[in-house]
Amino acid sequence: MLTGTDITVSVGDRHLLQGISLSVAPGETVALIGENGAGKSTLLSVLCGDRLPSAGSVAINGRPLRSMRPGERARARALLAQEQHDLPGYTALEVVLIGRYAHIACVPSRADRDIAQAALANVDASHFATRLMQTLSGGERARVHLARTLAQLMGADHDVGRYLLLDEPTASLDVAHQHLIMDRVRGFAAEHRIGVVAVLHDFNLAARYVDRLLCLKQGRALALGGPEAVLTEPLLSDAFGMRCTVMSQLPGGRPLVVVLGSGLETV
């Protein structure tokens, strides 16, 4: 389990997060939703160990995150940040191999290369494995970095819980690839018994592919539960201040959110 207990993050007298608790099981996919500045990325940075909470704690498989060495952390969790630096001169495959850092003693082995190729195939990126990063489009680069985080967690013992933290993994992708990537991530999570926490802005993408959603507003948890429980008209209008309607009687049983307006428009 990846367990965050009573996490509070304060900067000065501003609370970025207040008493957030979240447990993610191996194989489960959880979406974080909320308006800009609600604390989604802050929560991810606490869960991955970048930021120490002012109060509360994070544990991976029962061990406090603080007590784990960098290599142990890297084998237990991977993070895809919202933005990536340029990597001029590196090929896509080389970037994915960097994700294997915590597993490689000296030189990448045949197995590491196979894992990197498999990770690229997982995000539909095999055909540009040998291209240079600066020649790829933004969405292609995003898929390469996603493959890097997948490769970081692959090839380990399936009995040990591992966790994938994704900050807006679909932000720069075309619609078809948004669905492809979410489908692959969910399949990857199930196949490798990996727990996923993903910041998502598209309710319908979340509704279709995740098991649970955590909705944040101003650093507090508004709701935590399945798509039907969280994606409701009153809750969304509270969290985002917008007008919307939720259609629930659809094939597949997942709710569909139709946004009617921001709630701030000048009439």
How far apart are CB 32 and other proteins at their closest, in Å? 18
Q: Give yes or no for residue 14 binding other proteins (CB under 8 A).
A: no
The DSSP result for 178-204, as a single string, is: HHHHHHHHHHHHHHHTEEEEEE-S-HH
For residue 113, CA distances in Å to 53, 63, 100, 185 come to 37, 30, 9, 20
132 binds other proteins (CB under 8 A): yes
Spatial contact of 128 and 137, defined as CB atoms under 8 Å apart: no
Calculate the CA 74 to chain-centre distance. Answer: 15
Residue 85 in the binding site for other proteins (CB under 8 A): yes
**Residue 262 in tokens:** 């921001």
127 makes contact with other proteins (CB under 8 A) = yes
Q: Does 130 bind other proteins (CB under 8 A)?
A: yes
Nearest distance in Å: CB 103, other proteins: 8
* Residue placing its CB nearer to other proteins in the complex, 102 or 256: 102
41 lies in the site for other proteins, by CB under 8 A: no
CB atoms within 10 A of CB 57: 15
In the complex, what is the shortest distance from the CB of residue 149 to other proteins, in angstroms, rounded to a whole number? 8
Q: Residues in the site for other proteins, rule: CB under 8 A?
A: 48, 50, 69-71, 73-75, 78-79, 81, 84-85, 87-91, 94-95, 98-99, 101-102, 104, 107, 127-128, 130-132, 134-135, 148, 152
